[in-house]
Amino acid sequence: MSILDDAIQMKSVSPLMAAASIEHRNNALRSIKESLLSNKDEIFKANREDLERAASDNVAEAVVKRLKFDEHKLSDVCNGIDELIKLPDPLGKITLNRELDADLVLKRITCPIGVIGVIFEARPDALVQISSLCVKSGNCAILKGGKETASTNRVLFTVIKNAVEKAGLPGGCLFQAESHSEIDELLKCDGYVDLLIPRGSNAFVSYIMNNTKIPVMGHADGICHIYVDKEADLDTAVSVIIDAKLQYTAVCNAVETLLINREIAPKFLPMLKKAFDEKGVTVHGTKEVTDMIGGDTVTEADFKEYLKPEVSVKLVSDVNEAIAHINKYGSHHTDAIITKDDDAAAVFAMMVDSAGVYRNCSTRFADGFRYGFGAEVGVSTGKLHARGPVGLEGLVTYKYLLTGNGNIVGDYASGTKSFHFKDLD
């Protein structure tokens, strides 16, 4: 069968998936967790194969970090499933209940998007998170992971698919695409796939957006900033920056650019340089920065997403210059200010055009699990439908249900009847 055939079949079963009760869907999640734990030896074996292949193929270090799936990652995804089960049902929520006339009532009710195609990077834990979120939100999913994790993903998908079907959810609600050529097939499934969520490089996401008629949700870059204000607690700033850069370098919410207020630079930059030297972080700074602390001299045009222990540094005169830089050069993902000044923080929060705007904390908090979403299918920097970490709420849409008693528009057009809009409890 082709991807199109599977998408057509999936579209036909998506109403059954949408109709599954919350008890049914939560039982499927419990089944997934139990199956992951009982099959962990097979999963770890497959992951070792991927790691060995990555080593022989000289795969980039940032990718290797993402593809590792061990006891710690297994524990994380299982905890994520537990949290997901605890969350209320995102489906069937009445978000509008309005009487248009005495016998004409309009309701807006949440429902699944339908069939979602998710193309994601070499992270086995992402496959578990995405599958679990789609199950909880009543969506069918076509999943395509990175080739570097082919062995792990194959085993994980089989375990999850069997667990879901064993729990009684519709067969065919999940499908795994494995070959790269299937991506182009997936892009042509408009009419059957309702949404695409690509996760990867700027070039990859742009390719997806430019080669499909299917709506696309996601982000291309993760160029996150931290601005250290003149009223910052400098020890706090160093601690937050080290966490944001090094807690996990190979992810989109790691900080990549630091903007330092010029007034505190003579005192703060040496503190930062000392911390970076201890942790092995390479500095790429404007000439003004490297004249003070050394490092590789670059221009703003060279600032980029490193995904490793490297960071760009620039001095700015005030919060407004920092905001201007972020809005021009950033990826609208997550940006932070370190300051004790409430006014500066308020301006930063209002003017920075990003999905996440933080004060006095690490950009690494930009994550669906840390937001209490259970997990995420990705981070969206767009402004339509969903923004930031996309959890359950981002995977549902709504429909309008109108209940009448033989009502016809002609009566209202002629003036025989009139609307009296009234919101009901």
Structure tokens at 232: 């910052």
Q: Can you give the pLDDT at residue 219? A: 66
Instruction: Say how far apart CA 200 and CA 359 lie, in whole Å.
Output: 27
The CATH-assigned architecture of domain 3-219+378-400 is: 3-Layer(aba) Sandwich (3.40)
Given a cut of 80, whether residue 1 has pLDDT beyond it is no
pLDDT in tens, 339-356: 999 999 999 999 999 999
Provide the residue type at 216 as one letter.
V
Given a cut of 90, whether residue 59 has pLDDT beyond it is no
Q: What is the DSSP string of 321-384?
A: HHHHHHHHHS-SSEEEEE-S-HHHHHHHHHH--SSEEEESS-GGG-STTTTTSS--S-EE-SSS
Alpha helices in 195-250 (DSSP H): 202-210, 234-246
What Cα–Cα distance (Å) separates residue 168 from each residue in 11, 17, 122, 133, 220? 18, 10, 30, 17, 37
Q: Kindly provide the b/e burial profile for residues 126-159, where b requires at least 16 CB atoms within 10 angstroms of the residue's own CB.
A: bbbbbbbbbbbbbbbbbbbbbebbbbbbbbbbeb
Q: Can you give the pLDDT at residue 203? A: 77
Given a cut of 70, whether residue 313 has pLDDT beyond it is yes
| pTM summary value | 0.81
pLDDT in tens, 197-245: 988 777 788 889 899 999 998 766 789 999 999 999 999 999 999 999 9
Q: Can you give the pLDDT at residue 259? A: 98
- List, in sequence order, every residue forming a beta bridge with 422; answer none if it has no partner: 99
Q: What does the pLDDT average to over 55-68? A: 84
Percent of the chain scored above 70 by pLDDT?
A: 99
Q: Can you give the pLDDT at residue 10? A: 94
Q: pLDDT category, 292, cuts 50, 70, 90?
A: very high
Domain boundaries, given as residue ranges, for the chain = 3-219+378-400, 224-365
Element (H, E) at 165: helix 150-166
Q: What does the pLDDT average to over 280-288? A: 96
Residue partners of 177: CB distance under 8 A and separation at least 6? 3, 142, 143, 144, 183, 185, 186
Provide the residue type at 6 as one letter.
D
pLDDT in tens, 20-53: 999 999 999 999 999 999 999 999 999 999 999 9
The CATH-assigned architecture of domain 224-365 is: 3-Layer(aba) Sandwich (3.40)
Q: Can you give the pLDDT at residue 204? A: 82
